[in-house]
Structure 1
Amino acid sequence: MNAFQQGIREIDGSTHDDQRYVNALGPRGVIGIMTPGPNVNVENEMMDMRPRGIINAVDRYYVPNQKIAQNEDWSIIMQNVTANLDDSVRRLREALIDHLVLGMSSQSYMGGERGSFALLEHLEKISNLPVTMGAQSAEQAFKLCGAKKIALLTPYYPVIEQNAIDYFTARGFEVVHVEGLKCKSIIHVASQTYEDLAAATLRCEAAKPDAILQLGTNLAYAKVANDAEKWLRKPVFASGPVIYWSALRRMGIMDQLDGFGSLMSHH
């Protein structure tokens, strides 16, 4: 079935009140989170990480649950993301959010370093807000722990992975291994088990990186990463928690939380 997307429709006479009030449930701030419709895990992870006094406002922009069998299928997914991101920003702005989060890691790497920072600048311009994305958040985490050699664990095909490699290489890191799971659809990404992801983490570890980063916010990797830091005695970062941690810290929210890795519990 083909979906026909009409975008946002606004009725004549509509107004936009920009008067801000303190949110009764979120007096410390409101975070707007954009994520693709099929991404079911990142929304719940970020809700579980939400400190008292912070509100998460989530917008699930349209992306089909694409069947994935080749590089081109991932390219189509990314084209759908590009087509629908701006409308997602418009919807979240009506909640008068304080900070905007792109809760999808792959888009933040598209086009390597240049493409990533161009997207960041674009989102900041149309939202008129500070924006946190996966690429810069991961870089922040690597610099914090002093990692230079990194391994990536992804649900992707090489067409997406190469963008992440290009980004990190341009930013001064050495990517020593990429463990791509080649998932069959976006929902298939969300079905990967703890045991499968733990095994993939150990395959990353065989390359002896300074740190491991999981990409693909629809992978249920937060608990795996939290546990793997204890097994491997090195930083293991899950993309969703890294993004949310970075957003909180940029907002001046320094609350610490166990269960989501060393960044949230110690930094």
Structure 2
Amino acid sequence: MTDVLGYRAKFGVLGPSTNTTVQPEMEAMRPAGVTNHYSRIIVDNAQAISDETFLQGTQLIDQGTVDAVKGVMTCEPDYLVMGMSAITFYGGAKGAETWQKNINEVSGVQSSIGSVSVVEAMKAIGGIKKVAFLSPYYPVANNEVRNFLSDYGIEAVADHPFRAPTWTAIAEISNHQVREVVKQMDDDSVDAILQVGTNLSMAKLAATLELEMGKPVIAINTATYWHALRTFGITDKISGYGRLLEEY
């Protein structure tokens, strides 16, 4: 028997309970016949005022992920889309592999995670060796992103941590703030702009900036959802979210 609405795929989409961006952005990118079933990783609205408290907060998200996975699996999704990103960069390529393997074993299905998805997005577009990236994180987590990218031969020539003071404050970072940071980081040495941090809303803005700048601008929610669709064999071209979903 086939699900009436999710007749092509049922995706379990996971994100921290404080995250107000993943669910609407990924729902907007959803093609016909695919359904998203959101599961919240229960966490408090952490006060991140230093590198140490930021790391502690992301570790709490990590600890709650398995319960959220078990919860969403009761609707028998075909695939998981992991809408939290910081923890998927920790420990470089090996750390991401271990983390994802655990999720896949717990769930019994395959998954897309942010760190791997942005690398696969850059591979698909091609010609990307140097990036500038922005995040809502603290510097300690940006260092993890930088190290992860280096494992794939991608050099981060510039980065900007917004140092959001709480998890919900990430979603309050404005398009104007993002534009100003991108403008400061970009130069001729940068092949692409990358955004990480799934509660930082940039899916639509990235598409606009890409047209204005004439180079790839990759938003992590777009990359992760794109990776899930393509890995699951769904090749629909979706407009409004940049070249990644429109061309690859």
Band of TM-score, shorter chain: over 0.9
Q: Which one of 111, 117, 120 corresponds to residue 100 of structure 2?
A: 120
Shift of 1:204: 2.1
Determine which structure has greater relative contact order: mean sequence separation of CA pairs < 8 Å that are 6+ residues apart, divided by chain length. Answer: 2
Structure 2: runs of 5+ lacking an equivalent: none
> Within 5 A, what are the aligned runs for 1:225-264?
225-264=206-245
CA contact (8 A) 1:102 1:132 kept: yes
The corresponding residue for 1:219 is: 200
Shift of 1:207: 6.8
CA contact (8 A) 2:204 2:240 kept: yes
CA contact (8 A) 1:33 1:59 kept: yes
Secondary structure of 1:80's counterpart equals helix
> Within 5 A, what are the aligned runs for 1:169-184?
169-184=150-165
The corresponding residue for 1:80 is: 60
The corresponding residue for 2:81 is: 101
Q: State the Cα deviation string for residues 4-45 of structure 1 (Å, max 9, x = none).
A: xxxxxxxxxxxxxxxxx3111110010001100011011100
CA contact (8 A) 2:80 2:110 kept: yes
Report the TM-score when normalising by structure 2. 0.97
Q: Which one of 34, 49, 61 corresponds to residue 14 of structure 2?
A: 34
Q: Which one of 161, 164, 169 corresponds to residue 142 of structure 2?
A: 161
Matched positions, count: 247
Aligned residues: CA RMSD: 1.1
CA contact (8 A) 2:59 2:87 kept: no
CA contact (8 A) 1:176 1:207 kept: no
Shift of 1:112: 1.6
Shift of 1:80: 0.8
Q: Distance in 2 between matches of 1:134 and 1:154?
A: 13
Q: Distance in 1 between matches of 2:174 and 2:67?
A: 33
Structure 1 segments (4+ residues) deviating >6 Å: none
Shift of 1:208: 3.0
Report the TM-score when normalising by structure 1. 0.90
Q: State the Cα deviation string for residues 74-93 of structure 1 (Å, max 9, x = none).
A: 11111211211111111111
Q: Which moved more, 1:200-209 or 1:181-190?
A: 200-209
Q: State the Cα deviation string for residues 131-179 of structure 1 (Å, max 9, x = none).
A: 1001111101111222001111111111111111111111111110111
Indicate the structure (1 or 2) with the bigger Cα radius of gyration. Answer: 1
Q: Distance in 2 between matches of 1:265 and 1:204?
A: 26
Structure 1: runs of 5+ lacking an equivalent: 1-20
CA contact (8 A) 2:48 2:57 kept: no
